[in-house]
Copies of this chain bind each other. A is one copy, B any other.
Amino acid sequence: MSELRKDPIVERWVIIAAERGRRPSDFKPEPPPPTGGGCPFDGGMEAKTPPEVFAIRPGGGPPNSPGWEVRVVPNKFPALSTEGDVTHHGIGLLDWMTGVGAHEVVIESPSHDFNFALAPPEHMVLIFNAFIQRVQDLRGDVRFRHVIVFRNHGATAGASLSHPHSQLIALSITPEAVRQKLSASREYFMRKERCIFCDLIEQEMALPDRLIYANEHFVALSPFAARFPFEVHIFPRRHAHDFTVMDGDQKLALADCLQFVLRRYNEELSDPPYNLMLQTSPNLVPRPGRPDYWGTIQCDYHWHIEILPRLTKQAGFEWGTGFFINPVSPEAAAGFLRGDAPAAESETH
């Protein structure tokens, strides 16, 4: 069974996935991911995956039969186990807990050649609906404090199967990167009675420098302190802490905004590898007698999507400092992604 271990010096947890234990000889250069025939995620190959936990099957039909549009299955090589209780342990300076969690794969289409950037908006809504159903279902499990939905596109970005898919992992603790954002949102709200993300969006939309695209409900920005060249963040324009409460119009608007960015990546950057992360409020409704800290649903948070093209490498400087070096200014990146005529880089902030 895997374990969650805390670094004894700093606030950092890792998953030691020992049942994935490999020998040193397993760490050779990886073969390219399989393509074409025999893919376990293709329609008609349902028996090759673990039994589904959810599917959208418009024509009806039993679980694990063909005819689905979007299908969610447990990860065959999960980082965490869904069985057992979360138990906490410690010896001296060392702290750990059992590696309990959920690790699921959202197969975005039965078609191996499905293109997430070019799919019909109505199909994107089905994918969002699958995310929503799974997050809402996992929120009902009191062992879990947070669910992260993410999408790895391209081998460089960590995709090990080429069939288009997203993943989600439910964790028994609120991860540090999320906790920092929750903490900042809470502090700012206590001080100002306003959402820090709402204020940032208002400030950024007043200037064109880092604005990439906006429709009625969503806005795509090149973040001021982007870690990665061509990094993009997408926010709902009206305050919302929870992505699962979108209505139909909002889902279509999200598809429009997200696909605008991904199509511009394809046009400007030749289908780059990227990581996409959906950041929403944690899971738990406060319960009497239970200290939840950062696992509690926080209405002062503002949900968003981060997209990180993986065109640069992280090396000793980045790992040793937590700093990133970004060789493309966010203003230039926004210009490229908006489709501006090439020009000198803006100096405005």
- Chain B residue contacts of A275, Cβ below 8 A: 315-316, 319-320
Interface residues as binary, A154-180 with B (CB distance below 8 Å gives 1, 0 otherwise): 001111000000010101000111101
Tell me the nearest residue of chain B to A184, going by C-beta: B9
Q: How large is the interface on A (under 10, 10 to 19, 20 to 34, 35 or more residues)?
A: 35 or more
Question: Is A91 part of the binding interface, using a Cβ–Cβ cutoff of 8 Å?
Answer: yes
Contact B321 A181 (CB under 8 A): no
The copy count of this chain in the complex is 2
* Cross-chain contact of A329 among B12, B18, B150, B225 (Cβ < 8 A): B18
* In the A-B complex, the 6 residue pairs with the closest CB atoms: A158-B315, A150-B316, A277-B320, A175-B321, A177-B322, A275-B316
Q: Residues on A close to B: CB < 8 A?
A: 5-18, 20-24, 27-28, 79, 89, 91-94, 96, 146, 148, 150-152, 156-159, 167, 169, 171, 175-178, 180-181, 184-185, 196-197, 199-200, 203, 223-227, 229-230, 268-270, 272, 275-277, 279, 306, 308, 311, 313-317, 319-330, 332, 336, 342, 345, 349
18 additional contacts (CB under 8 A) given A15-B326, A175-B320? A5-B224, A6-B225, A9-B180, A10-B180, A16-B226, A18-B332, A79-B325, A96-B349, A146-B321, A148-B317, A150-B315, A150-B320, A157-B315, A167-B317, A169-B321, A275-B316, A277-B319, A314-B314
